[in-house]
Structure 1
């Protein structure tokens, strides 16, 4: 199915559709979840009018075909892997923009990178509640994109990096925790191409979807090779020392803490990893996270 026109009521999701199109070949996983987020927001805006319903149903059908065509180990079929993929990509784009900004290299690519990072941080909400670090960096990225764009347009020289606290109470600050600390060791992606759209959503015309859903260009990481341990007697997990009966949501919260800890370890941030592992352990033994 070819969808070429974005209904007027759905123009607020136009930037996410445009970002998806830009990533169809560069990173199909990012493109998929940008459209997935656009569907969610589109349903919130208008899912009843005939034109919006037709557009959103067509988009959902396209995404379903992509998911079915993807391999079993694709991030499109595993939310944990998908979240990690999109989050790492968003943080790399954010780091590129932040490094360029702090070095005083102000141009349209830096504006576009901050803007794209901010939208991808939005997209992360399709998986779960975003962390405080991501929320801070999202607000900062969006503010930086608008701030640098305004300065370039007026001929002013932007202030590199975060504004000193007190200079502008409305200016957000980026996260100072380990959310991006370890990303300096990652290869940075190429800056997003194209110019930053300064005001309003794009026009209603959007290029056609690819007729054949692209395969997710994803290769699962190589797992360390371990020698199998010698057979042991069957291990029985100990009972909860506090006798607490945990609910399904408790296990889900514990899994989330462990996931955050794993992500922190990837960024070589032991403090955040220990904090989240401690929360998981406390939840599993007492039924309380804090």
Structure 2
């Protein structure tokens, strides 16, 4: 999937999604599931920005065609059909890249690939929002990765030696996208999270294709209902959605522990416990 073809005809109104779309091509061979969600994020975000202007409508239609192609290419894959698996896979990948780069930074091994890795981690954490709101921890990771990418880029550009760790970050809270940062090459051997596979993706978009209708809140290929009966916990009747939500929080907690994210794991476990004991998030 060529980036130039994917970005061809990108309207100026949708310029903010160009870096996310570049990740589609970069991960086409490396991790096709990550590429899929980057493309889905680009389309959903583009729909929110402008789906009525003729140029934007035409471009978003092209993205839909690409999604259909990618859907066929993926075939049977649980990380696409199941929200819990997809969220865990994408978060694992993004955080592994973040921690890899953070370790390089704290060891003082500064290079252009580090800039791109921090910036890519920032973009991939953006993509996690196709599953809903980010955890507080991931919001901080995204902010930190974006700030460090800009800080190290500016230091190297000005011939200065960057400082390791959380230095020069706070003043970059509102960093704008930087073309130079986005254009730096990726590490030759980036982290490779594992993927899993089983059943066929369902609809990529809700509503009609020709009408360009899509639900922006979550990946449109995720089943709307969990086929299990209502569970009971004391006087609390849990719906299938409650049970699925608790499972999601538990799985995200396990994912966080793989990368020493104890705080995030505890937050997710607390959410799961609250949901199971009160029936409310």
TM-score by length of 1: 0.69
What stretches of structure 1 of length at least 5 have no aligned partner?
A: 173-195, 203-216, 222-236
Which residue number in structure 2 is paired with residue 285 of structure 1?
Answer: 277
Q: Report if aligned partners of 1:240, 1:285 keep a CA contact under 8 Å in 2.
A: yes
Secondary structure of 1:198 counterpart: helix
Secondary structure of 2:10 counterpart: coil
- Whether 1:260 aligns to 2:252 is yes
Which of residues 64, 84, 88 is equivalent to 2:88?
Answer: 84
> Using the alignment, how far apart are the partners of 2:170 and 2:196 within structure 1?
44
What is the deviation of 1:271?
Answer: 7.0
Which of residues 117, 127, 130 is equivalent to 2:131?
Answer: 127
Which residue number in structure 2 is paired with residue 99 of structure 1?
Answer: 103
> Using the alignment, how far apart are the partners of 2:45 and 2:247 within structure 1?
27
What stretches of structure 2 of length at least 5 have no aligned partner?
A: 184-193, 199-229
Q: 1:46-65 counterparts in 2 under 5 A?
A: 46-65=50-69
What is the deviation of 1:40?
Answer: 1.3
Offset from partner CA, 1:122-163 (integer Å, 9 cap, x none): 000011221111110000000000001111111111110113
What is the deviation of 1:62?
Answer: 1.6
What is the deviation of 1:276?
Answer: 3.8
What is the deviation of 1:103?
Answer: 1.1
User: Residues 71, 22 of structure 1: CA spacing in aligned structure 2 closer, same or farther, 3 A cutoff?
Assistant: same
Offset from partner CA, 1:246-270 (integer Å, 9 cap, x none): 4565445423322333324544667
User: Residues 15, 288 of structure 1: CA spacing in aligned structure 2 closer, same or farther, 3 A cutoff?
Assistant: closer
What is the deviation of 1:38?
Answer: 0.8
Q: 1:194-205 counterparts in 2 under 5 A?
A: 197-198=179-180
Q: Report if aligned partners of 2:106, 2:165 keep a CA contact under 8 Å in 1.
A: yes
User: Residues 19, 278 of structure 1: CA spacing in aligned structure 2 closer, same or farther, 3 A cutoff?
Assistant: closer
Higher relative contact order (CA 8 A, sep 6+): 1
> Which one has a bigger Cα radius of gyration?
1
Secondary structure of 1:76 counterpart: helix
What is the deviation of 1:239?
Answer: 4.7
Offset from partner CA, 1:160-188 (integer Å, 9 cap, x none): 0113xxx875467xxxxxxxxxxxxxxxx
Q: Report if aligned partners of 2:77, 2:197 keep a CA contact under 8 Å in 1.
A: yes
> Using the alignment, how far apart are the partners of 2:104 and 2:263 within structure 1?
27
More helix by share: 2
User: Residues 288, 55 of structure 1: CA spacing in aligned structure 2 closer, same or farther, 3 A cutoff?
Assistant: closer
What is the deviation of 1:6?
Answer: 1.5
What is the deviation of 1:67?
Answer: 1.6
